[in-house]
């Protein structure tokens, strides 16, 4: 049995499939944890959701958290048009993947699945969250500050607030060399978003998977067909 964590798929279905099926060769006894942001920016948001939603029926154990882009898609589908939802180009790619022209028309099963995603998860040795925490808050408030958990980009880590568990998160695209360093040193905080969707950026453009028991890091370069993406 192995435990793996990855994050920030952003519609990169082909890359995600290759990582799981060819590189990790995920088995039914393994556990996969995904830290959110399944949709927007990349070419096949719907395909990523279809794949994740079908994994349990294939006998695979997958645990998915909510990301800020998943929340933004939910908000848009509910008609909260005053809230931020990606760029116009991102929205177009996402809606095309679902075969609709309005977020309100995304089929209900996808919205239900996204709505049921948890914000955080504690497992042996680790706390998992999409973006991070405001460690200045009291512990009970820190663990219920949903907006921060989806959106924070900088924080000062306090291990005592997590009972000594390491923190794994995504959300902020981090150069592959830095993520490799964090994994190699078994850092207390590891950011696993290596910006897979930013296919033009040589420091990013990879999907990262961390083996939680060995700290081995697998980096899979972006394998998607060409698509428009803002440079980062």
69: Cβ contacts below 8 Å, ≥ 6 apart: 10, 36, 37, 38, 39, 40, 41, 86
Give the pLDDT confidence score for residue 88 in this predicted structure: 81
Q: How far apart are CA 128 and CA 27, in angstroms?
A: 21
**Confidence grade of residue 232 (pLDDT, cut at 50, 70, 90):** low
147, part of any domain: no
125, part of any domain: no
* Mean pLDDT, rounded, for 45-51: 98
103, part of any domain: yes
Of 47, 42, 53, 51, residue with least CA distance to 8: 42
CATH code, domain carrying 80? 3.60.21.10
pLDDT, mean over the chain: 95
CA dihedral 70, 76, 78, 81 (to 10 degrees): 150
Total domains in the fold of the chain: 1
232, part of any domain: no
**Confidence grade of residue 82 (pLDDT, cut at 50, 70, 90):** low
Q: Give the model confidence (pLDDT) of 140-167 as tens digits.
A: 999 999 999 999 999 999 999 999 999 9
* Mean pLDDT, rounded, for 4-9: 98
9: domain range?
Answer: 3-119+173-221
Q: Give the model confidence (pLDDT) of 169-210 as tens digits.
A: 999 999 999 999 999 999 999 999 999 999 999 999 999 999
């Amino acid at each position: 049995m192995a435990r793996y964590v990855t994050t920030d798929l952003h519609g990169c279905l082909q890359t995600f499939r290759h990582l799981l099926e060819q590189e990790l060769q995920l088995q039914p006894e393994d556990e996969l944890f995904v830290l959110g942001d399944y949709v927007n920016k990349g070419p096949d948001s719907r395909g990523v959701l279809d794949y994740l939603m079908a994994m349990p029926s294939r006998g695979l154990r997958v645990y998915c958290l909510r990301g800020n882009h998943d929340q933004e898609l939910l908000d848009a589908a509910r008609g909260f048009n005053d809230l931020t939802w990606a760029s116009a180009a991102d929205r177009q790619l996402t809606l095309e993947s679902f075969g609709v022209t309005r977020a309100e028309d995304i089929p209900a099963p996808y919205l239900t699945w996204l709505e049921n995603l948890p914000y955080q998860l504690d497992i042996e040795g680790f706390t998992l969250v999409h973006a991070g925490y405001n460690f200045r808050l009291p512990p009970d408030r820190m663990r219920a500050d949903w907006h921060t958990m989806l959106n924070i980009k900088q924080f000062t880590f306090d291990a005592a607030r997590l009972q000594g568990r390491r923190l794994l998160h995504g959300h902020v695209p981090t150069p592959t060399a830095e993520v490799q360093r964090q994994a190699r040193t078994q850092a207390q905080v590891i950011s696993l978003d290596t910006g897979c969707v930013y296919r033009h950026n040589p420091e990013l453009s990879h999907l990262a998977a961390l083996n939680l028991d060995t700290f081995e890091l697998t980096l899979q370069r972006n394998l998607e067909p060409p698509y428009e993406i803002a440079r980062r």
